[in-house]
Amino acid sequence: MARKNQTLGEFIIENQAEFPYANGELSRLINSIRLAAKMVNHEVNKAGLVDITGAVGEVNVQGEDQQKLDVLANETFIKTLTNREIVCGIASEENDDFITITGQKNDNKNKYVVLIDPLDGSSNIDVNVSVGTIFSVYRRVTPVGTPVTIDDFLQPGNLQVAAGYIIYGTSTMLVFTTGHGVNGFTLNPALGTYYLSHPNMQFPVDGNIYSVNEGNYVHFPQGIKNYIKYCQEEKDDRPYTSRYIGSLVSDIHRNMIKGGIYMYPSTAKSPNGKLRLLYECNPVAFIAEQAGGKASDGYRRIMDIKPEELHQRIPFICGSKNMVEKAEYFMQENQ
């Protein structure tokens, strides 16, 4: 049971039995993410003070300029997860291929894989706008004792055992689920302790905020264009408010608290959308559904989509259940 203001450590101990395969491994995994988030938070919070912002002059597998904090966040999460003897593999937005972790005894006995976007929205770092980390956890599907394979990563989102995000904003929060609801923990930076500030988070079933980059409007599918016009129409509880931060975690977090819908549809530049299925859409979809919201590509439940490749992109519509269903209606009406 989530008690407001209890620490993350107390919460994990009190809810240990709820974690699937409750033998402490998943708890240790969440604890390692908690530590890495504190380390990244420390760097993000002083980004403007030291020469750590700005690009490193390299591009990642996505063809995006790698920001120094991207690299640091990636290395921090990989190192922290590796040291905890829990994961047998990690896939990251910043790495072309997955990383195999054989364990200190070199015996491949660890049972979980983690997929991560170490610093989502990093292009916002230099302008001091919130950024986030997104993570997704699965049990491996190949035999324990053998090296992890791509099959351990290409699992549909409905098999996730845990997922969450860290938002480095006006405060730093860790929001996660293990399939028993969504809880938000706020970091007290003075103590380095996370406190349960948002127990049992719920996506309002309806809302009046829509989040989309309308600069791409001319390239959107007709169904999305029609839904945006629906949001802007003077009727009933409309027009809705447009709010788009350009940082997925921030837009989703605000919409989960206030009610709203986030859309990154297919565009001419990104025919499959921009967001990645495995380490952005699936974990956010797990959180959204656990909070009573919905996530689809306009036609299919995101978490039922069988991934075909590690960095696969997918159109993404996520938020308040009634709003997502309205957008799906317009999409399917124009299929």
Interacting residue ranges for ligand P6P, rule: CB under 6 A = 120-121, 123, 213, 246-248, 251, 274-275
Q: Smallest distance from the beta carbon of 334 to ligand P6P, in angstroms?
A: 22
Could you give the CA distance from residue 68 to residue 55 in angstroms, rounded to a whole number? 6
Angle among Cα 118, 152, 23 to the nearest 5 degrees reads 85
CB of 247 vs ligand P6P, minimal distance in Å: 5
187 neighbors 173 (Cβ within 8 angstroms):
yes
Note the maximum CA span of the chain. Answer: 65
Minimum gap (Å) between residue 261 Cβ and ligand P6P: 13
**CB of 108 vs ligand P6P, minimal distance in Å:** 32
> Would you say 25 or 70 has its CB closer to ligand P6P?
70
- Rounded to a whole number of angstroms, the minimum distance from the CB of residue 45 to ligand P6P is 19
Given the structure tokens 């995000």, which residue do they identify?
165
List the structure tokens of 144.
Answer: 């324990």
Q: Specify the residue, 19 or 265, whose C-beta has the smaller distance to ligand P6P.
A: 265
Distance between CA atoms of 112 and 43, rounded to whole angstroms? 27
Q: Which is nearer to ligand P6P, 152 or 280 (CB)?
A: 280
Closest contact distance (angstroms) between CB of 93 and ligand P6P is 9
Return the number of the residue (11 or 262) whose C-beta is nearest ligand P6P. 262
Terminal C-alpha separation, the chain: 44
Q: Name the minimum Å distance from CB 21 to ligand P6P.
A: 31
Quick count: other Cβ atoms within 10 Å of Cβ 59? Answer: 11
Kind plus residue range of the DSSP H or E element containing 25: helix 25-45
Q: Tell me the closest approach of the beta carbon of residue 121 to ligand P6P, in angstroms.
A: 4
**What is the smallest separation between the CB atom of 6 and ligand P6P, expressed in angstroms?**
30
Rounded Cα gap, residues 105 and 79, in angstroms: 17
- What Rg value do the Cα atoms of the chain yield, rounded? 19
Rounded to whole angstroms, the Cα distance separating 263 from 109 reads 40
Residue 312: CB atoms within 10 Å: 15
In angstroms, the CA 95 to CA 125 distance is 20
CA atoms of 58 and 66, how far apart (whole Å): 6
Distance CA(65)–CA(254), nearest Å, equals 27
Closer residue to ligand P6P (CB): 131 or 174 = 131
CB-wise, 68 or 274, nearer to ligand P6P? 274
And the tokens for 69?
């904090």
CA distance 11 to 1: 8
Q: Give the DSSP H/E element, type plus range, for residue 234.
A: none
